[in-house]
Every structure is written in C-alpha cells, then in structure tokens.
Amino acid sequence: MELDTKSKVPKYVQIQNWLYEMIRLGRTKRGDKLPTEEELAKMFHVNRMTVRQAIDSFVMQKMLVRQAGRGTFLVNDKPKDYVYELDNIQSFTDKMESMGITPSTQTYESDVIEATDEIASILQLGTDRRVIYLWRAKLAEGEPVLIQRHYLPYKKFEGLLDMDINMSLYHLLVEEFNVNLHHSTQTFGASLASEDDQKIFGIDGPFCCMVLESVIYDENNIPIELLYSSYRGDKYRFKVHSGQYIFQK
C-alpha cells in the first residue's frame, strides 16, 4: 500500500487516517488485534518509528491498548480523549471527521469591533483597527469540548459575516478568501473556565481548561488570525513532537 509522498500531509497522519477509516467501516472492530508495527511498516513502505508515531495517537485517545507479548488491540471505536498535536495548523472539523465523529459549531457572537492595543499589535493592523470577532463553541457528537474566540482583520475579511460561519472557518478562509494558512505560533497554559464557558460546557463550578493562544500567518508572514481556544481539561491532551537534543557545553 502506497502513501502519497507528494502530499503535505505527514506520512504518520496518512496512516492514522487509514486506520480511522478502517475502524469507521467496521473492518477493524473492538477486540481485533492490529498488525504489528513491523508489518504495518512493510505495508506502507515506511520505517517503524513512523508507524509508532501513528499508533501513539490512538493509544493516547484510549482507542488502542498495547499488551506486552500479545500485541496492540482496538478497545474503543471512538476516542475517550481528544489529542491536539502541536505540529501543524488543525481544523477541528477535519480532525473530528477523520475520526468518524460528527462535528458541529454553535456561534454565540459575531460582530465587528475595535481591537484593543494588544490585539491590534499582534495582528499588525495599522490605522484601521476594526476586527471581526467570533465567539464559538465546537461540539463533538453534540457535546461542547472547545470554545474559540477569533479575531480577524476586518479590512481583509469584511465579507465573512455574510457567510455561514457555523462550518469550518479555515475552509472559508482558504476557499472563499484564497488565504494560505502557512504557519502559526502557539502558546498554551492552564486556566480556570470563566462563568460563561462553564455554562457552555454544562459544568457547574470552576474546572481547568487548557488555553491556547494561536496566531496564524500567511506565506508573507502577515498575521491572518488571532485565536484564543479553551479546551476542556477532561477531554483533551496535547501532544508535542520534539527534535533531537542538542548538548550545549
């Protein structure tokens, strides 16, 4: 089986998508034993570490379990936890659909506002400080798991509010505005959910969220979007791919 070597999608993600599809179609069922990492590596013509990277995501989501001396088994056909991987710009819609999960969006506010000094500086707005502000919840199978607050330059995206924003925003930016979501900077930490977010998540009282600040740039290093995301701490894990250790004397 050949992977698309010309695709921008990493090989391990292509293997993940294949396995998600096998599970969705029922060709791999709960209790089934997966081929070994060596067998999958030969099947996809990749090294074993690429396969392991693909499998690790399913283990983190508690869909697969590795049993010493026996192999790797499918124990859940849907994730118990969602994994956000800090190695590329992700669309919630694309991610959920690739896992066979139905995504949806609930918009609570959409407006044109004047940017604060901080937001204007991050987005490098210049004299026109108007931004499109979107406050949305992302749902997986009807359950709110992520709250997003978007800020986008009004001058570039003034037609956005006339469109259906209860779909993938990144699809709109790429297809309707011909934007290249080239790269991003992402900073994350932990915070207690605000009262508004508690109501959306349907949880009484304070609880912990992972908060991600993301700035997306185009190929010319121009800021496209500032996004604040609050992930339910009991639903999400974050995965970082690190490079080689560099020893400094």
Those residues with Cβ within 8 angstroms of residue 59's Cβ, 6 or more apart along the chain or in another chain = 65, 66
pLDDT for position 178: 94
- The pair of structure tokens assigned to 52 is 């392991």
d(CA 147, CA 232): 9
Segment 185-202 shows an average pLDDT of 92
Q: Which of 76-80, 193-197, 200-204 has the lowest mean pLDDT?
A: 76-80
Those residues with Cβ within 8 angstroms of residue 42's Cβ, 6 or more apart along the chain or in another chain = none
pTM: 0.74
Segment 123-129 shows an average pLDDT of 95
Segment 213-220 shows an average pLDDT of 96
Percent of the chain whose pLDDT exceeds 70 = 100
pLDDT for position 152: 98
Average pLDDT value over all residues in the chain = 91
- Is residue 57 a contact partner of residue 72, using CB atoms and an 8 Å limit? no
Those residues with Cβ within 8 angstroms of residue 147's Cβ, 6 or more apart along the chain or in another chain = 135, 136, 137, 138, 197, 200, 201, 229, 230
Residue 49: pLDDT band with limits 50, 70, 90: very high
d(CA 170, CA 172): 5
- Look at residue 186 and give its three-state secondary structure: strand
pLDDT greater than 90 at residue 39: yes
pLDDT for position 98: 77
> Of 234, 209, 229, 202, which Cα lies nearest the Cα of 81?
234
d(CA 53, CA 182): 24
Residue whose entry in the numeric block shows the structure tokens 């560099």: 246
Residue whose entry in the numeric block shows the structure tokens 């406050």: 135
pLDDT for position 171: 93
pLDDT greater than 80 at residue 233: yes
d(CA 29, CA 73): 9
pLDDT for position 48: 93
Residue 85: pLDDT band with limits 50, 70, 90: confident
pLDDT for position 86: 76
pLDDT for position 244: 81
pLDDT for position 18: 92
Residue 24: pLDDT band with limits 50, 70, 90: confident
Those residues with Cβ within 8 angstroms of residue 28's Cβ, 6 or more apart along the chain or in another chain = 19, 22, 34, 74
pLDDT greater than 90 at residue 223: yes
